């Protein structure tokens, strides 16, 4: 045994101990793929990352801008055998194909522990539970058809009452135009046109027509005068947008309201996260309407994480830890407060949530107003075909009758 220099050995051992403890400290490694890249979204998802790390996990953040882009990367990586630990999808039929190809772990253990059969709203439960198993962990409830408005723009335009009917909406848009403001802040991207369309179908057509078209894909409904009226109202909104609308991101569009240069935006309550990030206060700098009038349908959607199948026990450990973290009370409140969404669990102190989110929570108690967003009912192909028709109708002089015919063809495939 050769003589050692004790202090050096002690230092060496202590550094080894440091390395080994830090190795133990970096617990289950999770690579999380999502598309939360705006100011509000990234602030919100950081709360999940913080909670996961506080629980001893190592979180690698793979943020890809744009839902369509992020979801196709996630699916391609699953098919290619190099999946992330978890991937964001909408609470919808978007991940049905990968379930059918047996590429996802089910999350029944979390579902049982969280009592989802009893606690989840029906439209969410019906699309997450496939053949008796849950295949995604929902993290929030969003609603795409909120109408946001700038209080200063409304004041400048002399609008002293929130529009509660389609006629009042167009009258307010005319006043905003007359005041030299951008009446409707719209991001000219196909998925945003689909959101505006769904909002008009719900608010002009009503819940019954909305479900006949989006859930039942009923040809008679799509050929009806009532649906024609919805499409004409949808297209009429186009005369209120600004020339910089084409291609503009939704959050850059919300920024126009935050600056007071635009009056209204029809967008999901992820826009609320941008107002929160800008430190504006609901009821002071901006207002929010969950549709037109007291019985407007509440179009339920949300976000969820799916967990690609893996045989790696470390990855499975990371998936279990991540699933338990994102549904836990603390992370749920911290995330949703910044995201602008409603928590997925109903046992939290929601007085900490924003005024608009509180309005949404109240409406969630009234099942008569619930409907799912289109993608809860439509396959990705049907939703993509519908979106193509809507954005063509929005951007060209396509006749409304042609739009009706093309929508029928798109939804009957």
The CB-of-17 to ligand GAL minimum distance in angstroms stands at 43
Q: Which stretch binds ligand GAL (CB under 6 A): 34-42, 227-235, 276-284, 345-353?
A: 34-42
Q: In terms of CB distance, is 105 or 192 closer to ligand GAL?
A: 192
The CB-of-67 to ligand GAL minimum distance in angstroms stands at 5
> Cα separation of 132 and 42, whole Å?
33
Q: Is the CB of residue 52 less than 8 Å from the CB of residue 30?
A: yes
- Interface of this chain with ligand GAL, residues 130 to 169, rule: CB under 6 A: 142
Instruction: Determine the residue with CB nearest ligand GAL.
Output: 270
At residue 185, φ and ψ (nearest 5 deg) are -80, 115
What's the gap between Cα 238 and its chain centre? 24
> Cα separation of 405 and 134, whole Å?
36
Among 35, 89, 134, 146, binds ligand GAL (CB under 6 A): 35
The answer to the question of residue 67 lying near ligand GAL (CB under 6 A) is yes
The answer to the question of residue 394 lying near ligand GAL (CB under 6 A) is no
Q: In terms of CB distance, is 146 or 270 closer to ligand GAL?
A: 270
The answer to the question of residue 41 lying near ligand GAL (CB under 6 A) is yes
Q: In terms of CB distance, is 245 or 301 closer to ligand GAL?
A: 301
The answer to the question of residue 36 lying near ligand GAL (CB under 6 A) is yes
The CB-of-66 to ligand GAL minimum distance in angstroms stands at 7
Applying CB under 6 A, the site for ligand GAL has a residue count of 11
Which residue is listed with tokens 């002399």? Answer: 158
Q: In terms of CB distance, is 209 or 327 closer to ligand GAL?
A: 327
Question: Residues 202-205: contacts with CB within 8 Å, 24+ apart?
Answer: 202/145, 202/291, 202/296, 202/297, 202/299, 202/371, 203/145, 203/166, 203/291, 203/292, 203/293, 203/296, 203/297, 204/166, 204/229, 204/230, 204/233, 205/229, 205/230
Q: Which stretch binds ligand GAL (CB under 6 A): 12-20, 35-43, 108-116, 316-324?
A: 35-43
Token output for 20: 């080994």
The arrangement of strands across the sheet holding 303-306 comes to: 58-63, 29-34, 86-90, 303-306, 137-138
User: What torsion, rounded to 10 degrees, do the Cα atoms 220, 193, 186, 44 define?
Assistant: 120
Among 30, 75, 84, 90, binds ligand GAL (CB under 6 A): 90
Measure CA of the first residue to CA of the last residue in the chain; give whole Å. 80
- Interface of this chain with ligand GAL, residues 251 to 310, rule: CB under 6 A: 268, 270, 301, 303
Alpha-carbon distances of 236 from 134, 231, 248, 400, rounded to whole Å: 41, 8, 20, 11
Q: In terms of CB distance, is 44 or 403 closer to ligand GAL?
A: 44
**Binding residues for ligand GAL (CB under 6 A):** 35-36, 41, 67, 90, 142, 250, 268, 270, 301, 303
């Amino acid at each position: 045994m050769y003589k050692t220099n004790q202090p050096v050995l002690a230092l060496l051992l202590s550094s080894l101990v440091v390395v080994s403890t830090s190795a133990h400290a970096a617990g289950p490694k999770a690579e999380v793929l999502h598309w939360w890249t705006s100011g509000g979204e990234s602030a919100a998802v950081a709360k999940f990352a913080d909670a996961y790390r506080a629980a001893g996990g190592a979180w690698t953040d793979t943020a890809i801008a744009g839902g369509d882009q992020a979801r196709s990367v996630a699916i391609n990586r699953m098919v290619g055998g190099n999946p992330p630990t978890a991937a964001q999808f909408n609470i919808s039929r978007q991940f049905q194909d990968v379930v059918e190809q047996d590429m996802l772990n089910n999350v029944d253990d979390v579902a049982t522990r969280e009592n989802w059969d009893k606690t989840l709203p029906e439209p969410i439960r019906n699309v997450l539970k496939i053949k008796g198993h849950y295949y995604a962990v929902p993290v929030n409830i969003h609603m795409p058809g909120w109408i946001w408005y700038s209080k200063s723009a409304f004041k400048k335009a002399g609008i002293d009452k929130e529009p509660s009917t389609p006629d009042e909406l167009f009258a307010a848009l005319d006043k905003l135009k007359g005041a030299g403001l951008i009446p409707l802040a719209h991001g000219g991207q196909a998925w945003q046109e689909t959101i505006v369309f769904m909002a008009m179908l719900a608010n002009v057509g009503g819940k019954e027509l909305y479900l006949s078209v989006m859930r039942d894909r009923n040809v008679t409904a799509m050929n009806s005068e009532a649906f024609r009226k919805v499409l004409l109202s949808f297209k009429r909104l186009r005369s209120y947008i600004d020339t910089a609308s084409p291609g503009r991101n939704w959050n850059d569009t919300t920024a126009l309201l935050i600056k007071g240069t635009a009056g209204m935006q029809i967008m999901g309550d992820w826009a609320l996260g941008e107002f929160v990030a800008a430190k504006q206060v609901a009821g002071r700098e901006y207002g929010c309407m969950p549709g037109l009038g007291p019985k407007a349908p509440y179009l339920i959607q949300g976000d969820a994480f799916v967990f690609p199948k893996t045989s790696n026990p470390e990855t499975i450990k990371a998936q279990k830890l991540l699933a338990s973290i994102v549904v836990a009370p603390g992370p749920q409140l911290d995330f949703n407060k910044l995201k602008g969404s409603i928590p997925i669990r109903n046992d939290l102190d929601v007085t900490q949530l924003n005024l608009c989110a509180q309005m949404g929570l109240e409406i969630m108690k009234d099942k008569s107003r619930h409907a799912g967003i289109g993608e809860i009912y439509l396959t990705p192909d049907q939703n993509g075909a519908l979106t193509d028709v809507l954005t063509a109708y929005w951007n060209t002089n396509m006749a409304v009758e042609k739009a009706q015919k093309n929508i029928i063809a798109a939804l009957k495939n």
